[in-house]
Structure 1
Amino acid sequence: MLTNALIYLFAAVISVPIAKRLGLGSVLGYLIAGVLIGPFVFHLVGDQTDVMHFAEFGVVMMLFLVGLELRPSRLWQMRRPILGLGGLQVVITALVIWGLIAGFSDYPWQVSLAIGLTLALSSTAIVLQSLTERGLLKTQAGANSFSVLLFQDIAVIPILALLPLLAIGEITHAQNDHGSLIAHLPNWAQVMISTATIVAIVLGGKYLAAPFFRFIAETRLREIFTAFALFIVVAITVLMQAIGLSPALGSFLAGVVLADNEFRHELEVDIEPFKGLLLGLFFITVGASIDFQLLFDQPMFIGLSVFALILVKLVVLAGIARVSSMSKSQGILFTLALAQGGEFAFVLASSARQFAVFDDALVNLLTVIVALSMLVSPLLLVAYEVYFSRKDQQALPEQDTDIESTEHVILAGYGRFGQIIGRLLIAQGFKLTILDHSPGQVDLVRRFGNKVYYGDAARRDLLEAAGAHDAKLLIIAVDEPEKTMEIIHTAQKHFPHLKLLARAIDRRHAYELIQANIHGMRRETFDSALHLGVDALQLLGISEAEAKHAGSVFEEHDDEVLRKLAEVWGDDQRYGMAVQKGLQELKQVLQDEANERQAQKNENS
């Protein structure tokens, strides 16, 4: 086992950087690594079945994260492109492939239809990974591709339900019991149990997950939080497999349910590394599982089949792009991105064999065709980048699939100070991503309808999940000076484009913020104390205008002195002298102002 792990890691470490350097993308690098270590090249690894089952957790985690990025309201807003573009693509592609196979082969219509449905799906893993790497996911074509993929992922459930109805042979008990604990029950009972399970996932995610997350977050043990996040994904996978449903769709559903949860950012950053590793392992196993012996035995037939699959998808997708009024470059990107078979084809083909729709030979043939189409797919995007300038890409405004990262301001800290800032910006129409590291505060604020998320804003991965790459402004309103400086250092190092505003706890903290060269800071008690001082002047007989003017002069002078003192902070002798000089200057300024006002009064009288 350790030897195989070493081989996989070594292959990835060598192949992926080379592929990236050549502009081919990491997905193609993983696939090539799998081909090289597989049984038909260097034969470093053998049967990939068990490894692929484990690696499919990468797809499951990816769909969980996709679900986390889609609040139910956002999903509802996307219903038209999902149902329109996605529905058209799956139905038309499946019908065309069904017709071609029925016309040019001896397969029964049931088998032809099952093949059409299996090959109609594209690779969620490859498309999302490739578009994200190239910065194309937020283009018009990227957003539409995402909608199509989402429909395909949802369509897996009804396709799986349809397969038993297409059986052309007798389904034995062993075939029918494909890991499901309820396969022996009547169909109506299976439907009821499946529905009840989905409802339980929805209700559990909505009402039970938050208290558990809050309890774990209060321990301040990050590894336990990570363990619980992984537990959720694995538990849903096992549960969905136990009732014969798609684990990937179950994890997606759980992600959507948890999308409104205050711990959503933390979940995302904890699962992301595991998803990346397991997706890489999945791509390697796909490459290693290609049956090159079958390819060598039937090179012409398989080559034409792969070409026909890609061609059919290109034609169908091009037609959809045209009727949906995409620009030329965006339509071509949309068409090329989705022109391959998908990982769910392996799941559907295996299920079709278990339901006596496919035989072993057909499953092996489809596996090779789909795997080769996945191998070719990244090259299509490379061709797109070569022949089409990025200046033609039309980014969609406010179509970011990241969590709440529209007109983007990130507010770190939502206590008494941060809430005032938040209310002001929200009242002006800005949408915020708000982070707070106190589980109790997050829970309290969310009870009043505010969208606040749990997490430590000093963590690079959390800021990235909150959309820092696209954000314009980061406001730091936490009440711990050390934590404020940590957040600033993280932001300046990894997100140098961000404008930074910060809350200063006291004068010493203000010096540190000035030295950090951020865009602005405010001392938390200064403004309120200054306004109270102005009120005091009025009660002492000074006119309102004069009192406000005195306050303005004081504020301007104090800010100037503050910045001068920041330059000598740390040198006690120079600092002491600067403080005394500042006080004398302030007295002189105020005295000059008083003399000027008195002179004006004398002139007027």
Structure 2
Amino acid sequence: METAHTTSWLLTSLIYLGAAVLAVPLARLAGLGSIIGYLAAGIVIGPWGLKLVTDPQAMLHFAEFGVVLMLFLVGLELEPKRLWALRRPIFGWGTVQTLGSAALMWGAAVALGAEWRLALVASLGLALSSTAIGLGVLAERNLMSTTSGQSVLSVALFQDIAAIPILALVPLLAGARGGGGWSGAVKAVAVIAAIVLGGRLLLRPALRWIAGSRTPEIFTAASLLLVVAIAALMQAVGLSMALGAFLAGVLLAESEYRRELETDLEPFKGLLLGLFFIAVGMSIDFGAVWAHPGLVAGLVVAFLVLKALVLTAMGRWMPIPLAERPVFVILLAQGGEFGFVVFQAAAQAGVIEAETSSLLVAAVALSMLLTPLLLVAADRWCERYRAHRPPTHGLAPINEAQDAPIIIAGFGRYGQIVGRLLFANGLKATVLEHSAEQVESLRRWGWRVFYGDATRLDLLRVAGAGSAKVLVVAVDDMAQSLAVVDLAQAHFPQLTLVVRARNAQHWYELNRRGVTHIERETFDAALMSGRSVLETLGFEPHQARTLAWKFRRHSIEQLHELAPHYGDQARLIALSKAGRQQLEDMFAQDRALRSERPGGAGWHADDAEEASAPSPR
């Protein structure tokens, strides 16, 4: 019996992990993102796919455990200082989105004849968006620091908080239908208050005592014990375990041990969320979808459109650039993982029927599946729109002919350093920047920056590329950078190209195109850090400088040696290993020579030669 149980557990783990390892890379190669890979894996192995996992009860427990762990991590990130700094956008625009979307959907449902309690639960659950998908997409697109990214984060944080009163409202609705809801609500509030007050008084001393054992795995185990204990207590009074996990995370977020706990759990965070989404994919009841395809499709379209209307109106009032509004609207229009918790709790409490819960869960899951596809479609539409329509954000593209001898394409953190050096020396340059938000910000600081995409031939002509001497390509995106270089080489051969390379691969592509003035963006900064480390360990400043210069020269020489073999990975690896060994041997010989010199720590002729030599390319 024990052997059979062990075999079943191993087989289930093999199925889950194997599906994730196969599906996620394929989804990322298709440009759909890892989350869609997890969802698709769940669909394939679930009861409506290959039926590798067919036990609905086990699937439900698995999904619930994923929700508990995910909400614990969400709560762990809700540090009070962070909430206070974002209080206005969180509680202002977050309230507008959540309550506005819920009110609009509730009114539409009641007008169509739905019972008001059902309409209320469905509207509140559908008003919530996926925090995991939203923040994941922002991170993948490097949009977290943008206005739209901060707006999505603020609204998502409010939704995480709003899930607490929504879940607490479910027993009240059940009581309104069958009685006994008020006593359950009072008991739930008492337990929550006890958890919060007791946690604030007892948690830190307990963690301090456990940390004193100097056993990291026991500290992590104690934190997980706290999560499980609070979740079990919440379940005992009829509330969701996910709510208890969220409270546990918030309590730990206020602890001085939060960073250590985050470090311990960070390696597991992505996998835990991935396993949760696998369970979400398995939980889609395609039987309900096949039985009512028109109803499910209409439900998905209806709630996406109604939420998009509210978000579009918000986008007009919020300081979100027009180019970033589609991402803001799509990420928040979808359904979210909190909706599964709300519908599950409502079905268990008898507020909605099990079949209705299945339809709502299917609608939310399908909206999450559609989100990456909608983002791809929005990206393509925006590209065509920008190519054929004038901008509506108040910034017209550069339309007056310029005659500066220098053009700087891209004026972010890299381009600004180049520009400041040139302007400080009295040189004139035409600056192009394709981000409307960046242009507006730079103009407020007094910079004369033109809005324009340097990959457009007509804008380069207006910027004076036909008569300019130098084009500095400081564009952040590698593909766009190469496109600017190709355009300039094809139409403006007199331009000297000075190009920023993001990494070695970018450098090889630029070198293949014959560009000679290439600088890797983090290379010299990293060398300066290395020099600081050497000096901290006792090296003389001039010696650290010389060693860094030799390393720089060797690295650049090696790039040129490896360039003819770019594309042959095996050859590149072999030559790279040989070059690394050559560098170590050279530094070993240098140390031996210095030890033999009288007063070896001072300046010498070869050091002076190294220090005065021009920087190699």
Please classify the TM superposition score into its range, dividing by the shorter chain length: 0.5 to 0.7
CA deviation after TM superposition for structure 1 residue 25, in Å: 0.3
Match of 1:93 among 78, 95, 101: 101
Contact 1:35 1:288 in 2 (8 A): yes
Give runs of aligned pairs for residues 3-42 of structure 1, distance below 5 A: 3-42=11-50
Q: Alignment identity in percent?
A: 42
Contact 2:32 2:372 in 1 (8 A): yes
Contact 2:129 2:331 in 1 (8 A): no
Q: What is the root-mean-square deviation of aligned Cα atoms in Å?
A: 3.9
What is the match of residue 432 of structure 1? Answer: none
Q: Which moved more, 1:26-35 or 1:338-347?
A: 338-347
Contact 1:35 1:287 in 2 (8 A): yes
- Residues 311-342 of structure 1 show CA distances to partners (whole Å, capped at 9, x for unaligned) of 11111111111122321122221101111112
Answer yes or no: is 1:199 the counterpart of 2:197: yes
Match of 1:137 among 127, 141, 144: 144
Q: 1:585 to 1:80 in 2, by over 3 A?
A: closer
**1:164 is paired with a residue of what secondary structure?**
helix
Contact 1:59 1:248 in 2 (8 A): yes
Distance in 1 separating the partners of 2:177 and 2:186: 20
One-letter amino acid matched to 2:23? S
Give runs of aligned pairs for residues 277-426 of structure 1, distance below 5 A: 277-388=271-382, 392=435, 394=437
Contact 1:230 1:271 in 2 (8 A): no
Q: 1:519 to 1:275 in 2, by over 3 A?
A: farther
One-letter amino acid matched to 1:16? V
Q: 1:515 to 1:248 in 2, by over 3 A?
A: farther
Answer yes or no: is 1:579 the counterpart of 2:598: yes
Distance in 1 separating the partners of 2:141 and 2:192: 39
What is the match of residue 127 of structure 2? Answer: 120
Q: 1:384 to 1:240 in 2, by over 3 A?
A: farther
One-letter amino acid matched to 1:203? L
One-letter amino acid matched to 1:133? E
Contact 1:140 1:396 in 2 (8 A): no
One-letter amino acid matched to 1:121? L
Higher RCO (CA-CA < 8 Å; seq separation 6+): 1
Answer yes or no: is 1:44 the counterpart of 2:75: no
Q: TM-score, normalised by structure 1?
A: 0.63
Distance in 1 separating the partners of 2:352 and 2:527: 55
Q: 1:14 to 1:509 in 2, by over 3 A?
A: farther
Q: Which moved more, 1:306-315 or 1:575-584?
A: 575-584
CA deviation after TM superposition for structure 1 residue 133, in Å: 2.4
What is the match of residue 602 of structure 1? Answer: none
CA deviation after TM superposition for structure 1 residue 211, in Å: 1.4
One-letter amino acid matched to 1:370? V
Contact 2:187 2:237 in 1 (8 A): no
Contact 1:48 1:285 in 2 (8 A): no
Distance in 1 separating the partners of 2:438 and 2:227: 32
One-letter amino acid matched to 1:42? L
Q: 1:506 to 1:336 in 2, by over 3 A?
A: closer
Contact 2:184 2:237 in 1 (8 A): no
CA deviation after TM superposition for structure 1 residue 506, in Å: 5.5
**2:156 is paired with a residue of what secondary structure?**
helix
Contact 1:16 1:30 in 2 (8 A): yes
CA deviation after TM superposition for structure 1 residue 65, in Å: 3.7
Q: 1:584 to 1:68 in 2, by over 3 A?
A: closer
Q: 1:237 to 1:568 in 2, by over 3 A?
A: same
**2:533 is paired with a residue of what secondary structure?**
strand
What is the match of residue 555 of structure 1? Answer: none
What is the match of residue 517 of structure 2? Answer: none
Contact 1:101 1:112 in 2 (8 A): yes
Contact 1:145 1:338 in 2 (8 A): yes
Contact 1:16 1:26 in 2 (8 A): yes
One-letter amino acid matched to 2:146? T
What is the match of residue 412 of structure 1? Answer: none
CA deviation after TM superposition for structure 1 residue 87, in Å: 0.6
Q: Which moved more, 1:128-137 or 1:500-509?
A: 500-509
Distance in 1 separating the partners of 2:603 and 2:118: 93
CA deviation after TM superposition for structure 1 residue 243, in Å: 3.9
Distance in 2 separating the partners of 1:385 and 1:4: 39
- Residues 191-222 of structure 1 show CA distances to partners (whole Å, capped at 9, x for unaligned) of 223212122223344x3255146414xx3x44
Distance in 2 separating the partners of 1:570 and 1:235: 62
Match of 1:103 among 104, 111, 115: 111
- Residues 357-385 of structure 1 show CA distances to partners (whole Å, capped at 9, x for unaligned) of 11122112212111211211222223334
Contact 2:25 2:34 in 1 (8 A): yes
Answer yes or no: is 1:161 the counterpart of 2:168: yes
**2:110 is paired with a residue of what secondary structure?**
helix
CA deviation after TM superposition for structure 1 residue 391, in Å: 5.0
Q: 1:63 to 1:74 in 2, by over 3 A?
A: same
What is the match of residue 483 of structure 1? Answer: none
CA deviation after TM superposition for structure 1 residue 66, in Å: 4.0
Distance in 2 separating the partners of 1:199 and 1:393: 48
What is the match of residue 548 of structure 1? Answer: none
Distance in 2 separating the partners of 1:199 and 1:101: 40
Q: Which moved more, 1:142-151 or 1:506-515?
A: 506-515
Contact 2:110 2:116 in 1 (8 A): yes
Q: 1:506 to 1:361 in 2, by over 3 A?
A: closer
Distance in 1 separating the partners of 2:39 and 2:357: 20
Structure 1 residues not aligned, in runs of 5+: 177-182, 398-468, 470-491, 521-565, 587-605
What is the match of residue 591 of structure 1? Answer: none
Q: Which moved more, 1:30-39 or 1:243-252?
A: 243-252
- Residues 405-425 of structure 1 show CA distances to partners (whole Å, capped at 9, x for unaligned) of xxxxxxxxxxxxxxxxxxxxx
One-letter amino acid matched to 1:198? V
Distance in 1 separating the partners of 2:255 and 2:175: 46
CA deviation after TM superposition for structure 1 residue 115, in Å: 1.6
One-letter amino acid matched to 1:192? A
**2:97 is paired with a residue of what secondary structure?**
helix
CA deviation after TM superposition for structure 1 residue 79, in Å: 1.0
Contact 2:172 2:185 in 1 (8 A): no
Match of 1:215 among 212, 229, 238: 212
- Residues 516-542 of structure 1 show CA distances to partners (whole Å, capped at 9, x for unaligned) of 84999xxxxxxxxxxxxxxxxxxxxxx
Q: Which moved more, 1:361-370 or 1:252-261?
A: 252-261
One-letter amino acid matched to 2:329? T
Distance in 2 separating the partners of 1:20 and 1:248: 29
Q: TM-score, normalised by structure 2?
A: 0.62
Give runs of aligned pairs for residues 541-552 of structure 1, distance below 5 A: none
Q: 1:391 to 1:278 in 2, by over 3 A?
A: farther
Distance in 2 separating the partners of 1:15 and 1:391: 35
**1:352 is paired with a residue of what secondary structure?**
helix
One-letter amino acid matched to 1:368? A
One-letter amino acid matched to 1:140? T
CA deviation after TM superposition for structure 1 residue 188, in Å: 3.6
Q: Which moved more, 1:22-31 or 1:50-59?
A: 50-59
What is the match of residue 533 of structure 2? Answer: 502
What is the match of residue 410 of structure 1? Answer: none
Q: Which moved more, 1:375-384 or 1:499-508?
A: 499-508
CA deviation after TM superposition for structure 1 residue 49, in Å: 4.0
One-letter amino acid matched to 2:150? A
Distance in 1 separating the partners of 2:47 and 2:268: 26
What is the match of residue 422 of structure 1? Answer: none
Distance in 2 separating the partners of 1:96 and 1:518: 65
Distance in 1 separating the partners of 2:51 and 2:118: 34
Distance in 1 separating the partners of 2:212 and 2:542: 37
Contact 2:128 2:335 in 1 (8 A): yes
Answer yes or no: is 1:82 the counterpart of 2:80: no
**2:314 is paired with a residue of what secondary structure?**
helix
Distance in 1 separating the partners of 2:134 and 2:355: 28
Q: 1:55 to 1:504 in 2, by over 3 A?
A: farther
What is the match of residue 523 of structure 1? Answer: none
